[in-house]
Chains A and B, each alone.
Chain A
Amino acid sequence: MLRRPRSTPATRQLALLIGLALLLTAWQHRADRRPGEGGKASPPERLAVALSWPLQRAFAAVGSGLQSFGSGLGQYRRLAEENRRLRAEKDELAAQKLRLVDADIENRHLRKLLGLALRTTPRPVIARVVAVNYGLSRKRLTIRAEDRRTLEVGNIVRTELGLVGRVSEVNGDRAYVFPLIDAEHAVAAVVQRPPRDQGMVHVAARPEYLPDLLVMDKLLGRADLREGDVVLTSGMGEVYPPGIPIGTVVRVSHSSVGSTDVTATIRPFVDFDHLSYVLVERHGG
């Protein structure tokens, strides 16, 4: 009589595991195909996911923390480099300041020797902007001096950044400012960089008008203008003193065929939409 050979524990384990694997695969396949099944996972799969969920959260937090640490380290290096550069720049500026002080002392000494009077700049008056009228046709600012000092027609109005305009009318302690961005306003200007080309700065005529940009024209065709150039008042016409910053060149365009005119678009240094305080200076003594 033939007897079936007895299975070893290893064979039984193999058979058991293959059976379980087949069962789990079939269960997964069935759950996956069932319409409307929440999550499309069989109960054993859900159990495994539930068991691993706290671990997954912990690993994700560690990974995210390490990433933040790494990016912080990179940021630290960049900031350290920037700090080093700014310190070097500060030292250079301090040295420049010392040289300027030396030059000023020498200048005063030479003026004294030549018998020339010392130039003194009057302290500007601080004025508060109390009204703004940016209508389509006329633009006006109303200012009032903080210490009730009298303002005069022709006073120059500026901020620490650049030119705002000039006082056109005074009424008691209030003054009306004719700003740079008024369509009827034009300022004689010069490019700071040599060869110091000169022109007129005003707002662009419609339809090219842009509310926060100015135009510099009346430049000769050989004018050397570049993006980034700083434009200052030239002092021509004696309406404004020379050297007040107006803005920077953001675009240079050569006009139509046959003409050699050059036009520069300028972004003013002063933010006319957010003026709250201005400096008022006397011009011409």
Chain B
Amino acid sequence: MAASYVPVGASRSAALGHALSSLLLLVLAAAQATWPTWLRLGGEAPSLVLAAVISLGLACGGPGGLTAGFIGAFLWGAIADLPMGNLFVSHMGLGFLAGTMRGRMFSDRMSVAAILVAAGVIVAAITKLLLAPPLSPESWVAVVFARAVFSALLTVPIYPLARWLSQYYPLPEET
């Protein structure tokens, strides 16, 4: 038995999916960079890009999540002028891990996506803490908690978009 990853027309479909995902990530990176100060939770903007990467991984599978993680990390690193190394590690890893849950029990539920995003924000923050520690880590826990909660809340409008994009990423079929 062999798994057919490339059904007829699938590569073209996935390319369109990657293009649309990149557009979504670009819009969310711009929104995250210009998030208004009066709309912050505990002074923190949500991690919209990471929420989209995890949602795309959950909805579109491992390859989709991996690519979304790569593009999201690059865009966010460039726009926010952040070191890209830890962003690539955290975003690609989380996108791929979320992708491995595609098609499993409860993976299509909004609440699961929100919980995964909150956990993903914390994991990304720990990765950043290890690879690029902040100058003053005192308020780190409160900051990360506020960002995780806010990002989980904003997964609610992002996840349906990721689900819609999943039509361009066909599930591997047994042949």
Q: Which residues of A are at the interface with B, using a C-beta cutoff of 8 A?
A: 8-10, 13-14, 17-18, 20-21, 24-25, 28-29, 41, 44-49, 51-52, 55-56, 59-60, 63-64, 66-67, 70
Residues of chain A lying within 8 A (CB to CB) of residue B74: 21, 24, 44, 48
Q: Is the CB of A28 within 8 A of B66?
A: no
Q: Which of B35, B63, B74 has the most CB of A within 10 A?
A: B74
Segment from B26-34, B108-116, B144-152, B163-171 that makes contact with A: B26-34
Q: Is the CB of B78 within 8 A of A17?
A: no
Residues of chain A lying within 8 A (CB to CB) of residue B63: 9-10, 13
Q: Is the CB of A10 within 8 A of B36?
A: no
Residues of chain B lying within 8 A (CB to CB) of residue A64: 36
A29 to B85, CA, bound (A): 9
Residues of chain A lying within 8 A (CB to CB) of residue B33: 52, 56
Q: Which of B62, B67, B78, B81 has the most CB of A within 10 A?
A: B78
Majority SS at the chain A contact face: helix
Q: Is the CB of B34 within 8 A of A60?
A: yes
Could you list 26 examples of A-B contacts with CB < 8 Å?
A9-B63, A10-B5, A13-B63, A13-B66, A17-B67, A17-B92, A21-B88, A24-B88, A25-B83, A25-B84, A25-B88, A28-B77, A28-B83, A28-B84, A29-B85, A41-B78, A41-B81, A45-B78, A47-B78, A49-B79, A55-B30, A56-B79, A59-B34, A63-B34, A64-B36, A67-B36
Q: Is the CB of A51 within 8 A of B67?
A: no
Q: Which of B26, B36, B83 has the most CB of A within 10 A?
A: B36
Q: Does residue B159 face the partner (Cβ distance < 8 Å to A)?
A: no
Q: Which of A14, A48, A67 contacts B78 (CB 8 A)?
A: A48
- Residues of B within 8 A of A (CB-CB), count: 31
Closest A residue, CB atoms, query B74: A24
Closest B residue, CB atoms, query A71: B38
Residues of chain B lying within 8 A (CB to CB) of residue A21: 70, 73-74, 84, 88, 92
Residues of chain B lying within 8 A (CB to CB) of residue A52: 26, 29-30, 33, 75, 79
Instruction: Say how far A202's CB is from chain B's closest CB, in angstroms.
Output: 54
Chain B 121-163 against A: per-residue CB contact (8 Å), 1 yes, 0 no?
0000000000000000000000000000000000000000000
Q: Is the CB of B85 within 8 A of A25?
A: yes
Residues of chain B lying within 8 A (CB to CB) of residue A10: 5, 62-63
A41 to B74, CA, bound (A): 13
A41 to B77, CA, bound (A): 11
Told that A14-B96, A29-B83, A48-B75 touch, could you supply 17 new A-B pairs with CB distance under 8 A? A9-B5, A13-B67, A21-B73, A21-B88, A24-B84, A24-B88, A25-B88, A28-B77, A28-B84, A29-B85, A41-B78, A41-B81, A48-B74, A52-B33, A55-B30, A56-B33, A63-B36
A17 to B30, CA, bound (A): 23
Q: Which of A29, A46, A49 has the most CB of B within 10 A?
A: A49
Instruction: Say how far B26's CB is from chain A's closest CB, in angstroms.
Output: 6
Closest A residue, CB atoms, query B79: A52
Q: A17-B66, A28-B83 are in contact. Are A51 and B26 (CB under 8 A)?
A: yes
Q: A10-B62, A52-B33 are in contact. Are A45 and B26 (CB under 8 A)?
A: no
Q: Which of A20, A45, A59 contacts B70 (CB 8 A)?
A: A20
| Chain A to chain B: the 6 pairs with minimum beta-carbon distance, closest first | A63-B36, A55-B30, A48-B78, A45-B78, A21-B88, A59-B34
Residues of chain B lying within 8 A (CB to CB) of residue A41: 78, 81
